[in-house]
Structure formats: structure tokens, C-alpha cells
Chains A and B, each alone.
Chain A
Amino acid sequence: MKQEKKTTYDRHFMELLFAQLHDHSVNEADAEGLSKMLEPINRLAEQASNGLNFDDEPADFLRVMNEIKNTGNNKTDE
């Protein structure tokens, strides 16, 4: 039987995370609200991370920007 994936950011985890990592407490309602907002973002980001290659790094962004800035057939700013 296929097991359903458990939630990463449930309320209890949020409470623990804030207390242990950031040394401040959030109440139950806030922990619940934070988990509901973070969970879908994290799930989609996890899905997107499948596209990450071993040697990708943040600075590649500037390289790609420079590569594509003058491509195409209407280089009007030149």
C-alpha cells in the first residue's frame, strides 16, 4: 500500500523550530498559520529542486543574464 507523504511543516515542528533555532516562542495559532503557509511553498520548491544539477550555483544567474541579453532579432537598445 502506498504511504501518504507526511507534512514537513506541521504546527509542532514550527513551535520546536522557532524555540530551538531562533530562541523565541510562537503561540499555537501562529505556529499553525505559519505551517499552512510554508508547507505548499516548500512542496513546490522541493518539486522544482529536481531540476538542480550538481555544479549549479547562484552566480550562474549573472552568466545566463549576460548570455541572453542580446540574443534574438530586435536588439533595440544597442
Chain B
Amino acid sequence: MSDAILEYSLTEVAAGIRKREFSSEEVTRNCLEKIEELQPKLNCFISVYREEAIKAAKYADNAIASGDELGSLHGVPLAHKDMFYRRGFISTGGSKIQRGFRPSYTATVLHKLDAAGAIHVGGLNMSEFASGPAGQNEHFGDCRNPWNIECAPGGSSSGSGAAVAARLVYGALGSDTGGSVRIPSALCGLVGMKGTQGRVSRRGGMPLSFSLDCFGPLARTALDCARLFYTIAGEDKKDPTAGKEPVPDYESMCSKEVKGVCIGIDPTFGGIKPSDEVSEMIKRTIKQYESLGAKIIEISLPDQDELNALSNVITRSEAATIHRKWLKEKRDDYSAQVRRRIEIGLGISATRYLEALSLRSHHLQLYNNAAFSFCDVVLLPTVGEAAPTLSEIDVGDSDELPQMLRRLTGYTRPINYYGLPSINVPGGFSSTGLPLGFQIIGRPYQEGQLFQMAAAFQHITDYHKKSPALSGE
């Protein structure tokens, strides 16, 4: 087999396996070889389940030969942020503290992927305890961006972004509390979906913030992402916070035209100025959507800084609650930056926290009035710049930390506060060849429309078809 199969999209490789053009074992071994080759450069993986993956792939091939009923991901190799529990397998959460943690049960999202026939090839690198938008990890080493290994892949789902972009696997799960699926998707050139709050079960995923955590997929195309999201979304009897809304056929939305869809644009981007290159990318994107028949209107979004603060109050308070015991007993086992970010939650009063939660409805209503009263979806940058270098974002717990966090999460964090769905779409490249991304935000439970928008854009652009040179070396 050649590297050509690694260039196939998830849906293409699933179809090829099903039609027996190649076997799941061949595809899986191909991925494992590529992982072995690129792991020293990219450090995407914390663990690789080589033997288990080959065994599962052989089983998948036997099922095809036997004429069994096949799931939509039958025989397709995937890997996931190392925070989704699989019974008996170590799930580190990117931390020193959980380095040997073997959960006693399996996450609902993994159960659903297993039921669809996916092959789980390993646990992916991530920011420690899913806390850090740059994706650094001092315990397992920094994951690197395949488009330029001196650059950060974005976080906290850093390995998920890097591994899918480098063609090591066909898709991956990440978690998004303030942008952690969308940021690495933007910086690595992928489609990444953060669904409506509660759209996807959180059971069996390492928590950071009960109120804001969302699990979602990263893939190369909107269609791939739609298939993964359809597989993991929906009710979970073991997670009372998972919504009971029926899950529509997202893949069918990917062939629907966007003529007449109204896109809201805030010329001030909510008060946070992006780089000139990102600004130009947004202008080009608007023109491309106009060429597809979408209508563009100007809207005025609420101040993003205030919303970032409210979102931070919730995330920090809840993270500090989860970590309080360890912060006291294992303080030195945290990296300085992650400890700082979690520990500030211990200083937030209960009334401040409950105010931030109580204000969510008020702000969601304001956002609805400002945006969805006039348009169907909102278009914003995902990150206001291309991937920064690893040395640029190596700020530790210094006074530069808040500014670095604002740079990377300024556009994404408020969306978690609103609980709205948002998808990152590759929108072009910087002058230095790094991916740029934009996000489309929709009404609650309107993920289908976001897949529609992303797919329509990918039908007339080829940014998602370009591979980082590294994977072809």
C-alpha cells in the first residue's frame, strides 16, 4: 500500500474497506507505520495500541468476509485525545498525576465509535488536564504542528489536530471547553465541530468544566466530520446532561446548497482585532459564500472580553473544584502554567460563580437578539492569527499568560459560554504556509446547518486537500 491511501478522506477509506478495495488491516498497518515514522518529529501520541488495533482490524475484515452488517466507520483507524476512558487502558489526561490511571469503564463516545466499527489506534497528546490553548505539555513533551514543526498545533486537543492533519489517522475526538477542538482545527487546517452544549455525552471523558465541556470530532472534510459527529451525538441514559434531541442525518446536509442562507458578520469581530492575514481571509471567505448565493449582513456582536471573563469564572471555579484535593496534595505535579490557570478558581467566590451561570441565559438571549434575529449563522475568525511558534507561546506562568490566552481563545471561549454549536473550517493559508481557519456559529441544535455551510465552502475551495509537506517526506 502507498501513502495515497493515507490521503483518502475518512468516508472514502470507509467505502474502500467496505467494497474490499483494500482491507482494514492494510489501512491500519499503513497508519501504524506512518505513526512510527512521524512520532519522533510530531509527538502526537501518548500511547499507540498497535497489537490491539491490528487485532481489531483483522476482526473487521472477517466481519466483511462473513457478510455481517457493517457500521459507518467499519475498519477505519481513529485515535483520540488521551482523556476518553477505555476500560483497562491508561488514560493520562496529559498529566503526570494520572499517568498510570486505568479507568474501570469506557466512555460513551468510544462505545458509540466501537459500535460503528472504528479502530482505536491510540491516545493522543494534549495539554495537561485539557488546560491550554497552545497545546504544550511538559510531562509528555510538546506536540508539534505538521505544517511547521517549530509551531504550536493549538490546544488543548493538540495531538488530535496534528495527527489528523499529518494523515496519521482519519479522524480524532477532542474536547472543547474554550476552543480546544476549534483552535487546533484552525491551526492545523481541519474541520472541527463543537456541538451545542449537551449534544454529545460527556460520560467517561476527563472533566475540566461540567458546564462548558463539549466533546467533538476533528477531521479533514466536513463530510468526515459530519459522520463522526452523527456517530457520537445524542442521548445517553448514563449522562443526564446529554440532550434528548433527535440526531438528524448530518451527511445529507453536506450536499445541500447554501443559496439564501443569511450570514452575519461583525466588522469589529466583537472588539478583538485579528491579524491582517486573518482579516483578509475573512473577506475572501465572505466573497466565496456570496458566490454561492449566501446573503451577508452586518451585525454587532456583544463585547467578547466581558464574555471571556464570565466563561473563565465558570471554567476556573469548576476546574478548581475538580482539582482542589490534588492542588493541595500534589501541587508540584502540575506544570506551573496549568496550576496557575486552575488554582485561580480557588479564589473565585460562590456568588461570583453563580452569577456567571445565572447570566448565561441573559447573554444567550442578547446574542440571539443581536445575531439570529437577523441572520441564520455568524461567521468569525477562530483564531486571530496563524499558528504561533512554540517559543513564542512558551510563557509559563508569567505575566504574559493572560495575553497569550486572549490571543488564542478570544473568539472561541464566548461560544462555549453561550452553549452554541460552532464549526471550524479551513479558510486558507498564511504567507508562511500555515493554515488559517474561520468558525461558523449556529443556533442551538443546528449543527446540520454548520456542516452544510462547511461542506459548501469545501466544494469550491481546496485548502482541505493540501497536505503538510512533512507527511510526504
Whether, in the assembled complex, A47 has its beta carbon less than 8 Å from a beta carbon of chain B, the answer is yes
Whether, in the assembled complex, B459 has its beta carbon less than 8 Å from a beta carbon of chain A, the answer is no
Mark A30-50 against chain B: 1 for CB-CB distance below 8 A, else 0.
100110111011111101110
Closest to B446 in A: A77
Contact for A48 among B328, B354, B359, B444, CB less than 8 A: B359
Q: Are A38 and B344 in contact (CB under 8 A)?
A: yes
Q: Are A40 and B402 in contact (CB under 8 A)?
A: yes
Chain A residues within 8 Å of chain B by Cβ, number:
46
Q: Are A77 and B344 in contact (CB under 8 A)?
A: no
Mark A41-78 against chain B: 1 for CB-CB distance below 8 A, else 0.
11111011101110011101101111011111111110
Q: Is the interface of A mostly helix, strand, loop or mixed?
A: helix
| Given A40-B309, A61-B419, also A52-B359 (CB < 8 A) | yes
Binds A, one of B100-108, B266-274, B360-368: B360-368
Contact for A45 among B262, B356, B402, CB less than 8 A: B356
Interchain Cβ contacts within 8 Å, total number: 146
Q: Are B309 and A52 in contact (CB under 8 A)?
A: no
Distance, CA A62 to CA B47, complexed state (A)? 38
Whether, in the assembled complex, B298 has its beta carbon less than 8 Å from a beta carbon of chain A, the answer is no
Q: Are A14 and B347 in contact (CB under 8 A)?
A: yes
Binds A, one of B69-77, B218-226, B447-455: B447-455
Q: Are B355 and A72 in contact (CB under 8 A)?
A: no
Whether, in the assembled complex, A22 has its beta carbon less than 8 Å from a beta carbon of chain B, the answer is yes
Contact for A65 among B196, B262, B359, CB less than 8 A: B196
| Given A24-B331, A65-B197, also A58-B354 (CB < 8 A) | yes
Closest to B261 in A: A74
Q: A4-19: which have CB < 8 Å to B?
A: 9, 14, 17-18
Q: Are B340 and A33 in contact (CB under 8 A)?
A: yes
Q: Are A37 and B446 in contact (CB under 8 A)?
A: no
Whether, in the assembled complex, B372 has its beta carbon less than 8 Å from a beta carbon of chain A, the answer is yes
Closest to A24 in B: B328
Q: Are B340 and A30 in contact (CB under 8 A)?
A: yes
Mark B395-409 against chain A: 1 for CB-CB distance below 8 A, else 0.
001110110000000
Distance, CA A30 to CA B372, complexed state (A)? 43
Distance, CA A34 to CA B331, complexed state (A)? 15
Distance, CA A70 to CA B358, complexed state (A)? 23
Whether, in the assembled complex, B464 has its beta carbon less than 8 Å from a beta carbon of chain A, the answer is no
Highest count of chain B CB atoms <10 Å: which of A30, A58, A70? A58
**A6–chain B nearest beta-carbon distance, Å:** 16
Find chain B residues with CB under 8 A from A18 CB. 346-347
Q: Are B347 and A9 in contact (CB under 8 A)?
A: yes
Q: B410-454: which have CB < 8 Å to A?
A: 419, 443-449, 452
Q: Are A69 and B443 in contact (CB under 8 A)?
A: yes
Contact for A69 among B248, B401, B445, CB less than 8 A: B445
Find chain B residues with CB under 8 A from A71 CB. 368, 372-373, 443
Distance, CA A66 to CA B443, complexed state (A)? 10
Contact for A64 among B364, B376, B401, B447, CB less than 8 A: B364
Distance, CA A61 to CA B417, complexed state (A)? 10
Q: List 25 A-B contacts (CB under 8 A).
A: A30-B340, A33-B340, A34-B343, A40-B402, A41-B344, A43-B309, A49-B359, A52-B359, A56-B361, A58-B354, A60-B362, A61-B357, A64-B361, A64-B365, A64-B368, A66-B444, A68-B372, A70-B443, A71-B368, A71-B443, A72-B376, A74-B449, A75-B446, A76-B446, A77-B253
Question: What residues of chain B have their CB less than 8 Å away from a CB belonging to chain A?
Answer: 196-197, 248, 253, 256, 260-262, 305-306, 308-310, 312-313, 316, 324, 327-328, 331, 340-341, 343-344, 346-348, 352, 354-365, 368, 372-373, 376, 397-399, 401-402, 419, 443-449, 452
Which 8 pairs, one residue from A and one from B, show the smallest C-beta to C-beta distance?
Answer: A44-B309, A60-B361, A58-B357, A77-B448, A69-B444, A74-B376, A61-B360, A64-B361
